């Protein structure tokens, strides 16, 4: 299974802009991609495990291994294409 992890912060403007994109993709890709959100302020240990240095950071895992990462705001179709290109959905 493929998992998209969204590392975010509640105070982050681009993170807030990504919220509806993340929600829409979660609905569109249900059953094919697992989605997880990690608040870097509430869970700094998890953010540290992934060496997250800025937010938003999106980490794509396949079979429990990181296969890709991207940082910053992305339009919905761009993020969807990125997910699909790295996960062979």
Which residues are identified as catalytic? 12, 15
Instruction: Give CA–CA dist 19/49, Å, rounded.
Output: 23
Q: What are phi and psi of 33, to 5 degrees?
A: -135, 135
Query: Are the C-beta atoms of 38 and 5 separated by less than 8 Å?
Result: yes
70 close to 58: Cβ distance less than 8 angstroms = yes
């Amino acid at each position: 299974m493929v998992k998209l992890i969204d590392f975010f912060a509640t105070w982050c403007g681009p993170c807030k802009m990504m919220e509806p994109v993340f929600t829409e993709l979660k609905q569109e890709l249900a059953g094919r991609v697992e989605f997880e959100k990690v608040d870097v302020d509430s869970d700094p240990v998890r953010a540290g495990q992934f060496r997250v240095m800025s937010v938003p950071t999106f980490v794509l895992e396949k079979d429990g291994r990181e296969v890709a990462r991207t940082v910053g705001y992305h339009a919905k179709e761009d993020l969807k294409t990125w997910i699909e290109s790295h996960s062979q959905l």
